[in-house]
Amino acid sequence: MKDQILIKATDMFLTLGFKSVTMDDIAAEMGISKKTIYQHFSNKDSLVKEATMHLFETISCGIDDICTLGKDPIEELFVIKDFVMKNLKNESASPIYQLQKYYPKIHKSLMIRQFDKMGDCVIVNLKKGIEQGLFRKEINTDIIARFYFAGMTSLKDSEIFNPEHFTSKDLQVAYLEYHLRGICTEKGKEKLEQLLKTNK
């Protein structure tokens, strides 16, 4: 039952927002009593914390699986983008904004985990791209990895990117193109152009 509650809560948080969804909402949606939820989660904070970590682990494992497929590093980034968006239900900025505003400690913990995970993945991706002649060999991988993480994080800022004006998919594709055009060789740009045609 705990796993079922976690899955349903995560789904509702991503769809409606971490602040907007109440324990009553989750109980009603599942057809169970609120008491049943409290048997597994002491309060809403603990449920939000476990839901965000559950989501992080799910996405992390999926990214690890994608990285073993042997795709070239440019295509790999697009496949990861699609996978992450699917698991986040193409969410708008609102759920993440609510998490940051109303659950700052949980948000900060999530960001640290994301940076550790994403930083490692991006550096491996960059080095692979350099080896394959798709990325420029003179780039500083440590700096570019941090640029990439900082940029991806800023896409969730609803004050900069109002979800009423920018869809999550458009932002993700535009940011990937922005990132890759700055580091690609001519060979890499040819591959990028091919992928952009199928992502727009």
Q: Where does residue 89 fall: left (phi above 0), alpha (psi -120 to 50 degrees), or beta otherwise?
A: left
Give the phi and the psi of residue 116 in degrees, each rounded to 5.
Answer: -60, -45
Query: Is the CB of residue 79 less than 8 Å from the CB of residue 37?
Result: no
- Domain ranges for the chain, please list them: 51-199
- pLDDT for position 90: 59
pLDDT at 91: 58
Mean pLDDT, the chain cut into blocks of 10 residues (200 residues total)? 94 90 95 95 95 92 93 95 82 71 90 85 95 97 94 85 84 94 97 89
Token pair for residue 48?
């939000």
Residue 144, pLDDT score: 96
Per-residue confidence (pLDDT) for residue 139, from 0 to 100? 97
- Which CATH number among 1.10.357.10, 3.40.50.1980, 3.40.350.10, 3.30.70.100 corresponds to the domain 51-199? 1.10.357.10
Give φ, ψ of 135 to 5 degrees. Answer: -115, 150
